[in-house]
């Protein structure tokens, strides 16, 4: 089985960021640039490696559409133990930030060589467009399963996957191969890769592929540039800390209720009396009012 994993090295956007005026370049505040392998891509890579552990005939190749200075993710994939890597040079400057161009280039690459499975992360930490995977599947005319949180089973010609939906819902799906699967960052607990192994991977050469896209297509793909990032308006946040003098059970109750008990403590408690129909109606209203149901 041949598996392609699409990965990207991104800015650690959990650190303080700033968009420079003009070009829309994003920089980190107060430190040298700190990058990491996009967490969702790393989970996809991890799942591919685990598939190979169960089924040693698997061949894993990692791809990244990026400039030379952002090829760290490929070295990381080598250190983690993939069979091969390939860097695809972006069609335009900053082209790796354009999901359409990225998907077009990857599609071009994958149409030259057939893979049984294409793994992606479902979103990146930087632009978070969540588009590359779906676009790529459409371009290659492959079935796609997005936002997969768990790999439940892998058979000769199909996969069983669990998708993560809104509001905590889960969806169990089956997909025939070949297919494209995009994983969430929580899909796998990634393995630690020691610095020694990472340094060892840097001794290897990364093959480069520079595809030429049809220039008319290339021109037609537009992508907005960043102008500014507006952080949320600063608001005074009421911090709630439970009283240390309360028993642990009480404290847990208060924390679980989001401090409601504490906030309402200065209001008078209402005692309702009446027949069961009236009481249940009042209770229902109370719950509805506080959006508890």
Which residues of the shown chain bind other proteins in the complex (CB under 8 A)? 12, 15-16, 28-32, 34-36, 189-197, 199-200, 203, 244
In terms of C-beta density within 10 A (0-12 exposed, 13-18 middle, 19 or more buried), how is residue 125 classed?
Answer: buried
Smallest distance, other proteins to C-beta of residue 193, A: 6
Smallest distance, other proteins to C-beta of residue 28, A: 8
Tokens coding 223: 């992508």
The smaller minimum CB distance to other proteins, of residues 195 and 293, is found at 195
The smaller minimum CB distance to other proteins, of residues 112 and 203, is found at 203
Tokens coding 114: 């057939």
SS3 state at 174 = strand
The smaller minimum CB distance to other proteins, of residues 199 and 281, is found at 199
The smaller minimum CB distance to other proteins, of residues 41 and 90, is found at 41
Query: Could you tell me which residues come within 8 angstroms of residue 54 by beta carbon, excluding any fewer than 6 positions away?
Result: 154
Smallest distance, other proteins to C-beta of residue 199, A: 6
The smaller minimum CB distance to other proteins, of residues 80 and 163, is found at 80
Question: What is d(CA 89, CA 93) in angstroms, rounded to the nearest whole number?
Answer: 10
Question: What is d(CA 134, CA 182) in angstroms, rounded to the nearest whole number?
Answer: 9
The smaller minimum CB distance to other proteins, of residues 15 and 172, is found at 15
170 sits in which H/E element: strand 170-176
| Concatenated DSSP letters of 112-128 | HS--SEEEEES--SSS-
Query: Could you tell me which residues come within 8 angstroms of residue 22 by beta carbon, excluding any fewer than 6 positions away?
Result: none
Smallest distance, other proteins to C-beta of residue 234, A: 17
Smallest distance, other proteins to C-beta of residue 248, A: 9
- Cα–Cα nearest to 153, from 56, 77, 55, 83: 55
Smallest distance, other proteins to C-beta of residue 56, A: 16
- Residue 209 CB neighbours (<10 A): 14
The smaller minimum CB distance to other proteins, of residues 31 and 55, is found at 31
Residues paired with 36 in a beta bridge: 10
Smallest distance, other proteins to C-beta of residue 247, A: 10
């Amino acid at each position: 089985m041949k598996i392609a994993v699409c990965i990207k090295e991104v800015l650690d956007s959990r650190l303080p960021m700033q968009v420079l005026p003009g070009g829309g370049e994003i920089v980190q505040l107060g430190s040298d640039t700190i990058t990491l392998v996009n967490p969702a891509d790393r989970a996809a890579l991890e799942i591919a490696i685990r598939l190979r552990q169960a089924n040693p005939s698997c061949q894993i190749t990692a791809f990244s559409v990026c400039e030379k200075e952002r090829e760290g993710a490929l070295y990381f994939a080598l250190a983690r133990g993939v069979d091969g890597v390939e860097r695809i040079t972006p069609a335009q400057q900053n082209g790796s930030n354009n999901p359409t161009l990225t998907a077009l280039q990857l599609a071009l690459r994958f149409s030259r060589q057939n893979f049984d499975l294409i793994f992606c992360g479902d979103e990146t930490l930087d632009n978070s467009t969540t588009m590359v995977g779906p676009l790529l599947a459409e371009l290659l005319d492959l079935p796609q399963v997005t936002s997969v949180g768990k790999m439940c089973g892998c058979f000769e010609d199909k996969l069983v996957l669990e998708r993560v939906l809104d509001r905590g819902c889960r969806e169990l799906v089956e997909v025939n191969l070949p297919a494209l699967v995009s994983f969430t960052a929580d899909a796998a607990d990634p393995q630690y890769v020691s610095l020694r192994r990472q340094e060892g991977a840097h001794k290897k050469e990364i093959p480069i592929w520079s595809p030429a896209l049809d220039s008319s297509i290339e021109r037609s793909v537009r992508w907005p540039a960043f102008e500014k990032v507006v952080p949320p308006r600063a608001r005074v946040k009421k911090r709630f800390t439970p009283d240390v003098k309360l028993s642990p059970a009480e404290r847990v109750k208060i924390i679980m209720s989001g401090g409601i008990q504490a906030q309402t403590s200065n209001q008078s408690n209402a005692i309702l009396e009446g027949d069961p129909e009236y009481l249940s109606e009042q209770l229902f209203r109370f719950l509805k009012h506080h959006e508890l149901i």
